[in-house]
Structures are given as C-alpha cells and as structure tokens.
Amino acid sequence: MNTCSICSLKVSNHEDIYCSNHLKAFNNLKKHYEIWNKAFGGLTWVEYLNKLLKLNETGSWVREVICTEMRTVG
C-alpha cells in the first residue's frame, strides 16, 4: 500500500498521493477554488494557494497540501 506524500500515513487508494486527512484538505481546496475564482474575477490556482497561505485561519493540513501543490506546479 502507498503512503501519503506529506505525512507517510497509508493511503486508501493506490492512485492517491494523500492520506485521508490530506486528501480531504485537497478536495476542499479544489471545491472552494471555484468560489474564490468567481469572487476575485479570475484567480490562477497558484494565486489562490498563495492567498490561502497568507490567512491565519488556514489550517495545518491545508497548508501542508498547499506547499506540496506549489512544488508540483511551480
């Protein structure tokens, strides 16, 4: 079984790169991107992630996923 690319916990699906906690954070990021994109009149994925990193309210699992995503796109 594969492990999470962030915390090394087991992943439930061999195609996933995140454990259930980080996968939930990633899915929430994707879901809310559409809302932010409309609200800001067009944000790139990277701009969205950078804005979230600046917020104190952004949780640790989300921050970890953002850092991993930033490495893969940037």
How does pLDDT run across 12-71, given as a tens digit for each residue?
A: 887 889 999 999 999 999 999 999 999 989 999 999 999 999 999 999 999 999 999 999
Confidence of residue 1 (pLDDT cuts 50, 70, 90): low
* 11 vs 73, higher pLDDT: 11
* Residues spanned by the domain of 41: 20-73
- How far apart are the C-alpha atoms of 1 and 24, rounded to whole Å? 19
Residue 31 within any structural domain of the chain: yes
The pLDDT value given to residue 74: 62
Chain centroid to CA 43:
15
Strands (E), the chain: none
Residue 1 within any structural domain of the chain: no
- Token representation of residue 23: 């996968």
20-44 b/e with 16+ CB inside 10 Å = b? ebbbebbeebeeebeeeeeeeeebe
The pLDDT value given to residue 15: 81
Whether 6 and 17 have beta carbons less than 8 Å apart is answered as no
Residue 58 within any structural domain of the chain: yes
Structural domain count of the chain: 1
Residue 6 within any structural domain of the chain: no
